[in-house]
Amino acid sequence: MMEFIWPWAFWALPVPLLVMLLRPAQQQDPALRIPFFEQLKQMTVQSQGAHRRLWLIRVIALLIWICLVMAASQPRWVGEPIELPQSGRDLLLAVDISGSMGTQDMRLERQLVTRLAAVKTVVGDFVERRKGDRLGLILFGSQAYLQTPLTFDRSTVRTLLEETPLGIAGGKTAIGDAIGLAVKRLLDRPSENRVLILLTDGVNNIGEVSPLQAAKLAAKEGIRIYTVGFGADEMEVSGLLFNRTVNPSAELDTQSLTEIADLTGGIYQRARSTAELTGIYAALDQLEPIEIEQETFRPEKSLYFWPLSIALLLSFALSGQHLFTYYSARLSWQRQQSIIQPANARSPT
């Protein structure tokens, strides 16, 4: 919508009327005499058709004054409110993408899918809900690497998670390295907002740092770690003669994940299905609430140059009309003088 920074400038609109009413009466004897005044007067009367265009000149002058007053009032266009990212948590998501995450023991919309496919859907929805948080993504297998640094751009975090292929970081599981990388990335953030959510389906079997050592370092730096153990307890596999039931999560190190959470003030939770995983991340929304205070700003664009430009163009047009009348009258006077002078020269003395 339109706003005016100095609306009191509009009080100047009636100034031309006051000038016309209060101006002194015009004197009969002009202070400046123009030798071709009669020609100028005659051309003015002829060109305007006995003041038929006088009203147009007054209208243009009035429009010029209105435009100048409007420019002085500093008009601006104010757009719709835009929400700014509010101050929330610095939340890192560490997701296991080792070879075991390709186990098809999860169901998603009644279809059998891999663990990683279920994680992409559930964690992706969690990312969308974390409006106002800075989110980062760590992917780990045999090695841990930062896929997305802390950012307010939730769409990018979700897209990069969904595009992550299985086993790109190696087939083993380096939980300690993932925690160590998260600590490194969170050190420069406010201590009260540092959170890591780590999801894995296995046991730490590679890496330079043990999970408990990394967890102690995280606790020292005030980083809370929520751990999630993912994977079904039972799964049927086909055999030569008959199907047999196995435990695909036999290697899940529940004890270490629990100790990591306890050391850092977080919570360990076990997800045996997609539904349980969804419930865990919904509960994390309550454990790490999003800041509800929102900041907004309204984009502003100054518009004073539009009425100022119109006033300038109208002034040029009005000045050009007066100059044209002036020089036309002068040219006519000079022509008349050139005719009179030869006639006087031929007259007898």
Tell me the per-residue pLDDT of 92-141, one tens digit each, with 9 for 90 and over: 999 999 988 988 888 888 888 998 999 999 999 999 888 878 899 999 99
Q: Domain boundary residue among 292, 325, 343?
A: 292
Query: Quick one: pLDDT band at residue 268, thresholds 50, 70, 90?
Result: very high
- Indicate whether 286 and 312 sit together in one domain: no
Note the pTM of the prediction, 2 decimals: 0.60
Query: Quick one: pLDDT band at residue 315, thresholds 50, 70, 90?
Result: confident
Quick one: angle between helices 115-129 and 154-162, nearest 10? 180
How many whole angstroms separate alpha carbon 349 and alpha carbon 346? 9
Q: Which two tokens stand for residue 52?
A: 């038929």
- Indicate whether 215 and 280 sit together in one domain: yes
Does residue 28 lie in a domain region? Answer: no
DSSP state of 85: P
- Indicate whether 107 and 234 sit together in one domain: yes
Query: Quick one: pLDDT band at residue 85, thresholds 50, 70, 90?
Result: low
- Indicate whether 73 and 95 sit together in one domain: no
Query: Quick one: pLDDT band at residue 79, thresholds 50, 70, 90?
Result: confident
Does residue 339 lie in a domain region? Answer: no
Task: Give whole-number Cα distances, 174 to 29, 167, 301, in Å.
Answer: 104, 13, 53
DSSP-derived secondary structure for 162-202: HTPPTTTT-SS--HHHHHHHHHHHHTTS-GGGEEEEEEESS
Closest by CA position to 3, among listed 81, 78, 79: 78
Contact, 173 vs 202, CB < 8 A?
yes
pLDDT of 199: 93
- Indicate whether 60 and 113 sit together in one domain: no
Closest by CA position to 157, among listed 199, 188, 129: 129
Task: Over range 251-279, report the average pLDDT.
Answer: 91
CATH of the domain at 112: 3.40.50.410
Q: Which of 155-159, 237-241, 319-323 has the highest mean pLDDT?
A: 155-159
For residue 145, pLDDT beyond 80 = yes
- Indicate whether 62 and 123 sit together in one domain: no
Q: Which of 127-136, 285-294, 317-326, 336-345 has the highest mean pLDDT?
A: 127-136
Which of 63-67, 168-172, 335-339 bottoms out in mean pLDDT, i.e. has the lowest? 335-339
pLDDT of 182: 93
Does residue 341 lie in a domain region? Answer: no
Contact, 290 vs 130, CB < 8 A?
yes
For residue 50, pLDDT beyond 50 = no
- Indicate whether 62 and 170 sit together in one domain: no
Provide CB contacts within 8 A for 153, sequence distance 6+: none
- Indicate whether 126 and 187 sit together in one domain: yes
Q: Which two tokens stand for residue 169?
A: 């970081």
Q: For tokens 């841990």, name the residue.
A: 144
Q: How many domains does the chain have?
A: 2
Closest by CA position to 271, among listed 227, 208, 303, 235: 227
Which of 14-18, 27-31, 132-136, 146-150 bottoms out in mean pLDDT, i.e. has the lowest? 27-31
More confident residue, 120 or 294: 120
Largest CA distance in the chain: 148
Q: What percent of the chain has pLDDT over 70?
A: 79
Helices (H), the chain: 15-22, 37-48, 54-72, 115-129, 154-162, 175-186, 211-220, 254-264, 274-287, 305-346
Does residue 349 lie in a domain region? Answer: no
Does residue 340 lie in a domain region? Answer: no
- Indicate whether 218 and 323 sit together in one domain: no
Query: Quick one: pLDDT band at residue 47, thresholds 50, 70, 90?
Result: very low
Does residue 207 lie in a domain region? Answer: yes
- Indicate whether 19 and 55 sit together in one domain: yes
For residue 48, pLDDT beyond 50 = no
Task: Over range 255-269, report the average pLDDT.
Answer: 93
Domain that holds residue 198: 85-292
Which of 97-106, 176-185, 190-199 bottoms out in mean pLDDT, i.e. has the lowest? 190-199
- Indicate whether 9 and 124 sit together in one domain: no
Does residue 347 lie in a domain region? Answer: no
| Dihedral (Cα; 95, 100, 104, 107), 10-degree rounding | -30
Task: Over range 324-330, report the average pLDDT.
Answer: 70
Would strands 134-140 and 90-96 be described as parallel, antiparallel, or unpaired? Answer: parallel
- Indicate whether 125 and 47 sit together in one domain: no
Does residue 345 lie in a domain region? Answer: no
